[in-house]
Amino acid sequence: MGRHHLQIPARAERIDVEPYACLARYYDEVMDHVDYKGWANFVSRVVKRHGRKFSRGIDFACGTGMLARHMTGHGYDMVGVDGSVQMIEKARKLKGKRGHSLEFQVCDLRELPMVPRQQLVLCLYDSLNYIMDEEGVADFFRVAHSLLEQDGLLIIDLSTDANSRFHFSDYVIEEQVEGASYRRVSRYDTNRRIQHNVFNIYPDDEEVVYVEHHKQKIWEVAAVIDIMMGEGFRVDAVYHEMTFRRGDEESDRVHIVAEPV
């Protein structure tokens, strides 16, 4: 079931690459349905709702930097970090809005980036789902804790089991983007709670197919909250899909707001 039925090229040379190594070139177009401006607006409303007035933040697993850029439009100086060199190369082309600074670094989620302490730490759009083990998730929270000022906030999201079961258990899409066509095949391993997304990317100007196998752990919301609390956070709210309704395992995505204690 695809949005468009394309004639995907037949290519014999297959090159396996790390997630986002090739997709980075086309990511913004592949994600053009994502309302990053709306996400930034939501984040800024969450901060106000939780009684804070911030002007500095860091976005972990920032990808091509779209959310961080929109945060500068809300009066934030932003740093974005991501583990993918190719995603950060794209992000570095962006400029902050209204004179606010926007910087990017390559850094794994589980490692401390070279930045000053922050008021706001973000990790959004299913990025924490890329961390496959509890130890790694704990490492991220430890990093976030050591970066946050005392009155700071952490906002993360998680894609849920419901999202994978209902939308990505057996899903195929083929699309044409500028400079390439691609096929994404998604399968959900319900037993191991692993979401598999395999991207086959056919650049127009190369006679090869790049293959990226993305694996995401579909964490139980309660399990992640336990890990967070173990790393010194208090959870202030769990929101349902960018609203202020209470989120739970029935939500496609939950946003968790926490503060260091």
Ligand X SMILES: C[S@@+](CC[C@H](N)C(=O)[O-])C[C@H]1O[C@@H](n2cnc3c(N)ncnc32)[C@H](O)[C@@H]1O
Site for ligand X in 79-108 (CB under 6 A): 82-84, 87, 108
Other beta carbons within 10 angstroms of residue 89's beta carbon come to 14
C-alpha of 57 from chain center: 16
To ligand X, the closest distance from the beta carbon of 67 in angstroms equals 5
CB of 261 to ligand X, least distance (A): 25
**Among positions 22, 30, 57, 63, the unique one binding ligand X when judged by CB under 6 A:** 63
Q: Is 176 exposed, middle or buried (0-12, 13-18, 19+ CB in 10 A)?
A: middle
Nearer to ligand X, 11 or 185 (CB): 185
| x/- letters, 192..211, toward ligand X (CB under 6 A) | --------------------
Of the candidate spans 4-12, 76-84, 166-174, 176-184, the one that interacts with ligand X by CB under 6 A turns out to be 76-84
CA distance 45 to 39: 10
Choice between 67 and 257, CB closer to ligand X: 67
Stretch that binds ligand X, among 45-53, 55-63, 204-212, 248-256 (CB under 6 A): 55-63
- Which residues of the chain form contacts with ligand X (CB under 6 A)? 20, 31, 61-63, 66-67, 82-84, 87, 108-109, 124-127, 130
